[in-house]
Amino acid sequence: MELIVAKFGGTSIGNGKRIKQAAQSVVDEYMNGKKVVVVVSAIDKTTDELLHIVDEAMEDAVTEKQLAEIVSMGEMTSVRIFSSAIESIGVKSEYVDPFMDQWPIITDNNLLSAKVDFKATEDKSQELMKMMDQGIIPVVCGFLGRDPEGYITTLGRGGSDITAFLLGHCLNADDVIIVTDVGGVMSTDPNKLQSAQKLDKISVEEMRDLATHGAQVLHPHALKYKDPKINAKIIGFDHGDLSAHGTEIIGPSKNEMLKTSTLSSDPISVIAVVGEEILNKPGVLAELTEILAENEINIFGISTGQNSITVFVNKKDADEAHRILHDVVVKNDNLSSLSLGREIAMISIASPDFIDTPGIISDITEPLRANNLNIVEISSSQTSVVIFVEWKDGEKAYELVRSVLE
């Protein structure tokens, strides 16, 4: 039997009419023979309002425990209303909140931005299965958790998206559907640029990078739990239909739950271009990269300094790149000279956990320091770290980095 996890954001349940429509859309799927778990956020802007009131009433005097308990009231309320709305249509439903035995989401005791205990949550999620086997539609508080001592925790702002994907994973769901106030993922925030266009699909990797750079439409940590075989999509609430076409989230292409590391099989060459104050001269970077692109030379990395730009290319392309870039340097008054440097090795390390692991870069680099291996360059994004070392140090550095990950 197909299993859907459907998450409704604040706007989607922003008033009574919308709650009724949302409840009907859930019942429609249930009537089609599917199991449905509902995850809800707080109604409309309730969380913001509660936080504002707390701030006015006691500024910084509130404890984390008090704050978590107060904000939890947003979701505590919305599950009760949503579940009653389903029952009013004539289908059995029960709300599930952190005070109940059946509560699935177990976290550590970091009360306001708690980390999920995946194993415990996976076990407890089976309680939701039992409810569904009895024909009941469970309505679960998004955003909330419970720590080992029984205290209420929260997963951080926007955390209901995490709840949805986490439950999707634990319950082996077929679909995770995020219902929100826009039609799907757009080419940019439609509230900032009207010309934004809806995307039919986006990869997990792209979506996560978009989200970590601030696109609120999905919590960046939610996709940690996106299994390749789960169909996931983001749709607008106004259709009142969970089968609406929004934006499909595809992938991940590799098993992203794992940490991965790779060592480049070919040496990489570094080319440094210098010019006085080039950081303040528009168009220099474009000129250098454009000419390499025209000649189909791939760039593995770029770093910029006040007076230099360094590009990393495959060693087999290095001589050609050197010659081409030299022509640019000679013609461009802002640039004075360039040098083709030594051969280096590129080690890429990726893990969805990096986003919320303080100190990960120092953990990875410390053994290199201890073994006196020099790092030529390092770059990092939300889920990956790329380290460049001398080619001769590549194998050794790779082994050291791998031992950190294990």
| Interacting residue ranges for ligand ASP, rule: CB under 6 A | 9-10, 41-42, 47, 74, 142-143, 157-160
Closer CB to ligand ASP, 104 or 275, in the complex: 104
- Nearest CA to 152 out of 38, 70, 48 is that of 70
Closer CB to ligand ASP, 103 or 398, in the complex: 103
User: Shortest approach of ligand ASP to residue 297 CB, angstroms?
Assistant: 44
| Beta-sheet strands, E only, within 22-110 | 35-40, 93-96
Closer CB to ligand ADP, 194 or 362, in the complex: 194
Question: How many chain residues touch ligand ADP (CB under 6 A)?
Answer: 18
- Nearest CA to 253 out of 213, 215, 206, 296 is that of 206
Residues 176 and 168 sit within 8 Å (Cβ to Cβ)? yes
CB atoms within 10 A of CB 111: 20
User: Shortest approach of ligand ADP to residue 244 CB, angstroms?
Assistant: 14
Under rule CB under 6 A, which residues in 211-230 are in contact with ligand ADP?
215-217
Which entry of ligand ASP, Mg ion, ligand ADP, none binds 11, CB below 5 to 8 A by partner kind? ligand ADP
Backbone angle region of 380, left / alpha / beta, with phi > 0 → left and psi within -120 to 50 → alpha: beta
The contact mask relative to ligand ADP for 244-263 (x = CB under 6 A, - = no) is --------------------
**Residue 388: φ, ψ to 5°:** -110, 125
The residue number whose beta carbon is nearest to ligand ADP equals 9
| Beta-sheet strands, E only, within 351-395 | 375-380, 384-390
Residues 301 and 386 sit within 8 Å (Cβ to Cβ)? yes
Contact flag: residue 158 with Mg ion (CB under 5 A) = yes
Under rule CB under 6 A, which residues in 135-174 are in contact with ligand ADP?
158
Which entry of ligand ASP, Mg ion, ligand ADP, none binds 391, CB below 5 to 8 A by partner kind? none
Q: Segment contacting Mg ion (CB under 5 A): 55-63, 156-164, 198-206, 222-230? A: 156-164
Which entry of Mg ion, ligand ASP, ligand ADP, none binds 142, CB below 5 to 8 A by partner kind? ligand ASP
User: End-to-end alpha-carbon separation of the chain, Å?
Assistant: 38
**Residue type (1 letter), 351:** S
Using CB under 6 A, which of 188, 197, 337, 357 touches ligand ADP? 188
Q: How far is CA 290 from CA 27, 44, 183, 296, in A?
A: 54, 47, 35, 10
Length of the chain (residues): 406
Which entry of Mg ion, ligand ASP, ligand ADP, none binds 189, CB below 5 to 8 A by partner kind? ligand ADP
Secondary structure class of 224 (helix, strand, coil): helix
User: Shortest approach of ligand ASP to residue 14 CB, angstroms?
Assistant: 12
**Using CB atoms within 10 A of its CB, is residue 345 exposed (0-12), middle (13-18) or buried (19+)?**
buried
Closer CB to ligand ADP, 48 or 320, in the complex: 48
Contacts of 119 (CB under 8 A, 6+ apart): none
User: Shortest approach of Mg ion to residue 96 CB, angstroms?
Assistant: 20
The contact mask relative to ligand ADP for 26-45 (x = CB under 6 A, - = no) is ---------------x----
- Which residues make up the interface to ligand ADP (CB under 6 A)? 9-12, 41, 158, 180-182, 185-186, 188-191, 215-217
